Amino acid sequence: MRRSRIIGTGSHLPRKVLTNHDLEGMVDTSDEWITTRTGIKERRIVDGEKPSDLATVAALKAIDSSGLEPGNLDLIIVATVTPDMTFPSTACFVQERIGAGKAFAFDVSAACSGFIYALDVADRYIRSGGAEHVLVVGVDVFSRILDWSDRTTCILFGDGAGAVVMKGEEGERGILSTHLHSDGRYWKMLYAPLNGCGQEGVKMQGNETFKVAVRMMEQVSMEALRSNGLRVEDIDLFIPHQANARIIKTTAERLSLPLDRVYMNIERYGNTSAASIPIAMDEAFREGRIRDGHILLLAAFGGGFTWASSVIRW
């Protein structure tokens, strides 16, 4: 069976660190309040960098990890809701900067679920024969769309980029399935108005979003396992979207999945939206937490509402 296998990973975070103690001097909050409710201690914030700058570095690291050259790429997909410009796509900027002249490129917008959405699109291109080598990047720079006077949202997000290179090949390794969902009826619980419309910043109904996120993360994870005839015990590593430590831990508890098989880096980076899963995947791989033959479960939830999952045999 022809599958899409991840053959390279990469990530990039801005140098500037914004700690909870820094935020104490900006809004009415405290390190203890933020840590207790979110699990976040610090996040990275751009200092003049654009989303394509972060995406380009992550992409080059993933390409280097894969052993390919940029010229080998057939397709570039960038998942983001904070593009450099309205158009052209951030993917086109990445294509030009890495020198992938043969590839066609476009963006995908699905908020925090964006990386898995893009992974699904790439997988379908590969399995249909429309592309052989695909670069998928998740990148978001939420610091430029936040209301920094709103303590309920500005504490949550950070900036970053993560990337993977995928290759089509025969065998049992690769993406086993992806599962995508959305429900636009919930949009008012989590959204960001266009700049200049008179209502700036990310808007979120925190408690309501938390409840729906946990329920949908559990459901879409179980959907992925059932689709592949797997049990929770078969999962070597669960890599969830890093939105909130309480969401991650509650989801793991509902799945009866021990925390030692759950990857978390939210303490250091906060919620990096579409970048969170590929950043975590890259770190887990480089730390030796992911090895050949391992079964990975990915799950995400984001504005839209959107939610998604994927099962990968490494």
> Model confidence over 54-88: pLDDT tens digits?
999 999 999 999 999 999 999 999 999 999 999 99
Residue ranges of the alpha helices (H) in the chain? 20-24, 31-38, 51-66, 90-98, 114-128, 206-227, 245-255, 266-269, 276-286
| Statement: the pTM of the whole predicted model exceeds 0.85 | yes
Which active-site residues does the annotation give? 112, 241, 271
Distance CA 40, CA 267 (A): 4
Q: Which of 48, 44, 106 is nearest to 79 (CA)?
A: 106
Contacts of residue 161, Cβ cutoff 8 Å, sequence gap at least 6: 11, 12, 13, 51, 54, 55, 57, 58, 59, 137, 138, 139, 275, 278, 279
The model's pLDDT over 23-34, given as tens digits with 9 standing for 90+, comes to 999 999 999 999
CA distances from 136 to 24, 51, 67, 276 (A): 36, 14, 16, 13
Statement: residue 155 has pLDDT above 60 = yes
